[in-house]
Structure 1
Amino acid sequence: EAVSSTDAAKAALGDLDAGALAAGLREATGASSAPRLPRKGQRNVLITSALPYVNNVPHLGNIIGCVLSADVYARFCRARGYNAVYVCGTDEYGTATQTKAMEEGLSCRQICDKYHAIHRDIYEWFDIDFDHFGRTSTPTQSTICQDIYNACDAAGNCVEDVMQQLYHESVGFLADRLVEGTCPKCKYEDARGDQCDACGALLNPTDLIKPRCKANGATPEVRSTRHIFLDLPKVEARLGEYVATTSKEGNWTSNCLAVTKSWLANGLKQRCITRDLRWGTPVPREGYENKVFYVWFDAPIGYISITATYTPEWERWWKNPAENDVELVQFMGKDNVPFHTVIFPCTLLGTGQDWTMMKAISVCEYLNYEGGKFSKSRGVGVFGNDAKETGIPAEVWRYYLLINRPEQSDSMFVWDDLAAKNNTELLANLGNFVNRALSFMKARLGGVVPTVAADAPDGVALGDKVAPLLKEYVEHMEKIKLKDGLKAAMMVSKAGNVFLQETAPWVLFKSDKQRCEEVVASAAGLVLVLCALLAPFIPSFTRKVLGQL
């Protein structure tokens, strides 16, 4: 604030209001401690990122695809003065948890507690600033999930039917992820019973070629079992209208639209929403005492229940969105798209109630590792705990992941590239400008920002050069083009380096003290601008530089 109050700094800031910039900096560097509620007449933004499973440690691809990207956007929204809330949490029900518990010899609850803490600690180290990070294995989740099911059922959008399911006498009916086999579409030999990781196809366990029980490797048999289905065809027309309207209003990405339209083009089918499991949200229906809701019916409802554990007034965020002026923005990897653009919207539409529906969606492609894929089982890749142990600061990891964010196509993590970008971009560009500007001011001007005229020519010229970049930055960020926003911010830093090189304050100090002070004040103002622009991306950098200012 001291820097932004100088006249020359104001010139360098261009059209930006210095007071608003300072307030935005405070907002961007941290979430509010008190629960936020929608405010009439304001832009109220509810931000979610896909809920990570508690059956593993998140790798860098998981982190950039969901929680980190959403964190950047949430910080940007706060800095813009929007009333933004960012919620996430661990997805704890379903077969993935049960399978992991079997592998580690622990109970499902113990697995959830263990990995929830692991995820929380890793995200905290990465400087992910949730307004609330919760979990789905809660009584609140069960209540809200059951209420939504009951509403869908009462509206006539649920049906009961018999389906064929794989069974082994030592285990019982096998849920999706307790079955592996060969994908019928791409022939990948380790496809799961619900989805093929190689081609992305959604599957039923009985679709697999040569299925095998994951618990014991045995070949299961097919038996009949009764389940509940969400009648997607009954809400298909309403979903089509929602997608057609909202995809334009929310500027959905091309990769997201392609997946969604392919589902609609093929015609929606009834989808089973229950499973023969013990660990999950109980089904409130007679005869279903030994069944729970399928994780992909249950898990998206976790966004709602986690908000409910954040504030008892959660319905103001999730119901009657027009009345409460709420827009929902969701972040995820491309494999989660159909569940968020088809299944979850159909669930909410099927209740007949006025829920907050997703407006904007940001979808990441895959981040690969050194020419291959991340694999925990094979020890391939960098996982959250590995990043912590390297000694490389979190801000360097954040910067590298975000400048390589796989927004339109897959990208690659390469160790040599990490080192190169750290040296040529963070150090030679950003670090060099900030250090030159502030160290000269400290060494030659007593560490005090000079008070100079608002129309100082050098400051005005710098403002004219930077203003288009600031406009570009805001446009990219509003459209959730985070990588382009970061590039625009780094161009501002580059402009600062050019400014110092061209004006040479170290020469002016001896020949023209007044102009030297004007140049230094303008450079200090630009440092403040950079703090604001980079706060969503590398907040620890902003905190450190603000401490020096």
Structure 2
Amino acid sequence: MQQLYCESCQRFLADRFVVGSCPTEGCYNDFARGDQCEKCGKLLNSTDLVDPKCKVCGVTPCVRDTDHLFLELPQLREKLEKYIDETSVAGSWSQNAIHITDSWLKEGLKPRCITRDLKWGVPVPHEKYKDKVFYVWFDAPIGYISITACYTPEWEKWWKNPENVELYQFMGKDNVPFHTVMFPSALLGTGENWTLMKTISVTEYLKYESGKFSKTRGIGVFGNDAKATNIPADVWRYYLLSNRPEASDAVFTWTDLQAKFNNELINNLGNFVNRVLSFIAKPEGAGYSSIIPDAPNADSHPLSQSLAETVGKLVEQYIDAMDKVKLKQGLKIAMAISSEGNAYLQESQFWKLYKQDAASCAIVMKTSAALVYLLACLLEPFMLSFSKDVLQQLNLCTKAQISFCDEKREIAKANRTWDLVPANHKIGKPVPLFKALDNDAVARFREVFAGSQAERNARYITEGC
């Protein structure tokens, strides 16, 4: 094959060390990489680029002949298409994954180069190619298997057991072809009984404020940055999952994070949990001295029965969304249950019932406490620390992991929400779960994460941060 060689750097150029204009008609991206265009998503060879440049020195590379190993994708087409046709339906692949895979197949499968002329990487175990390494997207998925093998000698229980194991994968849209075409083809080509990916959940791009995330220029918030803000991890989890770009690109903005944090986590979820548990914790005469009241006639209380029916339907929708890996929808449904709880409290006017109708107030508070427990279970996949804290305040479970088991599902679906917590159970000490994010902090974060890393470090030093 022909490959780009930089005479200035005296080496063949790795795909990501080449930048040029995308050759795809109508794309007009002048910053496409040598392996893929991020704008249109098309997989490329570096020699396909128009006006390529070495990303290291800026010199125009020349083309040289070099000998490489290829994966013969055309010979695997029939097996691959059968796998894709069956699994994309059975595994409820996200629509963007299906679209990207179909467009790749329509272009026609071609032999794909799986080695590179580089000094770093996994060396090829073949005498003729001993000076070459494997292409990262041929080698990296194999790492999923080898990492498991490093963890346990029983790795085949996961990777060669398709009858009993379901493999789910999550990624950005630029990595789809490597996981729906390349890697399955490599496994199918062996003729062995591998566990192939069943479900793939693919996101579009997450943009930052008015532009793109860029580590090079220090624009955006990355792992260590997020930790340094001291914003709780569960707030990051909630915001990113509620803003997950499942069907189209999404934008991260500090004002949006602040709004979702203060309005949804504090005013909706946190307010409901604290309002319920604080009232139950009040001493006798004002509350229940931290004891969950009994409610033997809850099924005859119209308002509670109406809530239970609504919650039961939402739980069914939540389970369906999670089974189909629609995480954003699952989170939205869980938060809708919290909103129903707040509306239920307001409509019941429990603060008046306590003196006027003790039996009805007991039903409302037992049902509300059960809803708090249900929310801790439903939100555990999204906000682990929140769920752990709520369970500690309920004094129902001290473990971080919660299993939303069949019993709990059936109770909720049977419209008997109040039965999720036992009567006469003593709860723990209620405390506020979140602290508001103020305007000054948001303005500071927007400024700090808007410039280059060098500028940011200089500002930290200057300001004594």
Pair 454,331 (structure 1): closer, same or farther in 2 beyond 3 Å = farther
230-239 or 407-416, which moves further after superposition?
407-416
Listed as ranges, the matches of 1:151-300 within 5 Å are 163-169=1-7, 170-185=9-24, 186-300=27-141
Q: In structure 2, what is the equivalent of residue 321 of structure 1?
A: 162
State the distance in 1 between where 2:18 and 2:363 align: 70
Contact 2:380-2:386 at 8 Å conserved across structures? yes
In the TM superposition, what whole-angstrom CA distance separates every residue of 1:484-523 from its partner, at most 9, and x where no partner exists? 1111111111111111112222112112223222221111
In structure 1, distance between residues paired with 2:318 and 2:324:
10
* Residue matched to 1:48: none
Structure 2: distance between partners of 1:174 and 1:491: 52
Offset of residue 168 of structure 1: 2.9
Query: In the aligned structure 2, how far is the partner of 1:208 from the partner of 1:283?
Result: 27
Does 1:334 find its partner at 2:173? yes
Q: TM-score, normalised by structure 2?
A: 0.80
The one-character-per-residue Cα deviations of 1:29-57 (angstroms, maximum 9, x if unpaired) are xxxxxxxxxxxxxxxxxxxxxxxxxxxxx
Say if 1:165 and 1:205, in contact at 8 Å, map to a contact too: yes
> Is the contact made by 1:456 and 1:518 (CA closer than 8 Å) also made in structure 2?
no
- The Cα shift of 1:454 comes to 5.9
**Does the residue aligned with 1:299 lie in a helix, a strand or coil?**
helix
CA deviations over 1:188-237 (Å, ceiling 9, x no partner): 23221111223222111111222222332222221111100000000011
Cα distance in 2, alignment partners of residues 219 and 465 from structure 1: 65
Q: Shift of residue 455 of structure 1? A: 4.1
Is 1:488 the counterpart of 2:327? The answer is no
- The Cα offsets for residues 357-392 of structure 1, whole Å up to 9 and x where unpaired, read as 111110101111123221222232222222212222
The aligned counterpart of 2:281 is 442
**Percent same amino acid at aligned positions?**
59
| Aligned AA (2:200) | I
Where does structure 1 lack aligned partners over 5 or more consecutive residues?
Answer: 1-162
* CA–CA separation in structure 2 for the residues paired with 1:464 and 1:177: 55
Superposed, which structure 2 residues align to 1:32-431 within 5 Å? 163-169=1-7, 170-185=9-24, 186-322=27-163, 325-431=164-270
| 2:342 corresponds to which of 479, 497, 518 | 497
Counterpart residue identity of residue 511, structure 1:
Q
Q: Deviations over 1:87-129 (max 9, x none)?
A: xxxxxxxxxxxxxxxxxxxxxxxxxxxxxxxxxxxxxxxxxxx
Give unpaired runs (5+ residues) of structure 2.
Answer: 395-465
Query: How many residues get paired?
Result: 385
Distance 1:187 1:280 in 2: 32
More off after superposition, 309-318 vs 170-179: 170-179
**Alpha-carbon distance in 2 for matches of 1:455, 1:518:** 6
2:310, 2:388 → 1: CA distance? 26
Question: Compared with structure 1, are the counterparts of its residues 454 and 308 closer, same or farther at alpha carbon in structure 2 (3 Å cutoff)?
Answer: farther
The one-letter code matched in structure 2 to 1:218 is V
2:366 to 521, 526, 530: 521
Which structure has the larger Rg over C-alpha atoms?
A: 2
Amino acid at match of 1:509: Y
Q: Retained in 1: the 8 A contact 2:298–2:363?
A: no
CA separation in 2, counterparts of 1:460 and 1:178? 64
Structure 1 position 440, deviation (Å): 0.3
Name the CA distance, whole Å, in 1 between partners of 2:266 and 2:298: 32
Q: Could you tell me whether the CA contact under 8 Å between 2:241 and 2:327 is conserved in 1?
A: yes
Scaled by the length of structure 1, what TM-score is found? 0.68
Corresponding position of 1:12: none
Measured against aligned partners, the alpha-carbon deviations of 1:136-180 in whole angstroms (never above 9, x if no partner) come to: xxxxxxxxxxxxxxxxxxxxxxxxxxx111123443222212222
SS state at 1:331 partner: strand
Distance between the aligned counterparts of 1:165 and 1:477, measured in 2?
A: 45
